[in-house]
Chains A and B, each alone.
Chain A
Amino acid sequence: AQKVTQAQTEISVVEKEDVTLDCVYETRDTTYYLFWYKQPPSGELVFLIRRNSFDEQNEISGRYSWNFQKSTSSFNFTITASQVVDSAVYFCALSEKEWNQAGTALIFGKGTTLSVSS
């Protein structure tokens, strides 16, 4: 069965601290995509990254970085030098390949609420 686990329900840090959000997934497919989305208090979902199962290279985008490890089925997200504007709920999600390749729904983790104080 497909499943995404975000064990950290809430994290609180002080500005400029580094913070890592954990994501562990389960899937029987060899082809799949992993995503991270940010949901600020306004409610919209902001796309952060998509990673396919064949690309284990870590990625860095500004203060954001992602560590994908298939051996441990993890796709962790690190924010370096956190800022108050990073306060939001962060969701990790999994998408598996459908036979018609028309796109599939996402399976979301429960989310991690990050609070960054000044």
Chain B
Amino acid sequence: SAVISQKPSRDICQRGTSLTIQCQVDSQVTMMFWYRQQPGQSLTLIATANQGSEATYESGFVIDKFPISRPNLTFSTLTVSNMSPEDSSIYLCSVASWDSEAFFGQGTRLTVV
């Protein structure tokens, strides 16, 4: 199993600013995933972060808006840049291995005002 610590758990930010979300895993994992859950919606994959290479972004998400770092096998950050109210969502990091469940952090509830 894996335990994921995600910080901050929530934040209220001014539009135009940036927020960096941290995700720490208690074991080494090859791939980490970042999801967004807009209010009342399902989870949508933002990007896949592989250690040692650039993140792979899904359609509709760009690196300038959601830069991701993956400095080692237990840590990743997602930055939400130049925020607008439309970025208000829950952001979740996740890790998965083929032979186990997918583990999720507690999520970061972001409100942009």
Contact = CB atoms under 8 A, between A and B. Distances in A.
B113 interface: no
B106 A35 contact: no
B31 interface: yes
Contacts of A44: 104, 106-107
* Interface SS of chain A: loop
Interface residues of B, number: 26
A11 to B, nearest CB: 16
A95 B96 contact: yes
Nearest to B58: A105
A75 interface: no
* Interface SS of chain B: strand
Interface in A89-106: 91, 93, 95, 97-98, 100-106
A103 B42 contact: no
A91 B107 contact: no
B98 A97 contact: yes
* Contact-residue bracket for chain A: 20 to 34
A97 B92 CA distance: 22
Nearest to B44: A108
Interface of A: 35, 43-45, 47, 50, 91, 93, 95, 97-98, 100-111
24 contacts: A35-B101, A43-B90, A43-B106, A43-B107, A43-B109, A44-B106, A45-B107, A47-B103, A50-B101, A91-B42, A93-B102, A95-B96, A102-B97, A103-B31, A103-B96, A104-B31, A105-B45, A105-B94, A105-B96, A106-B33, A106-B43, A107-B45, A108-B42, A108-B44
Interface of B: 29-31, 33, 35, 41-45, 48, 90, 92, 94-98, 100-104, 106-107, 109
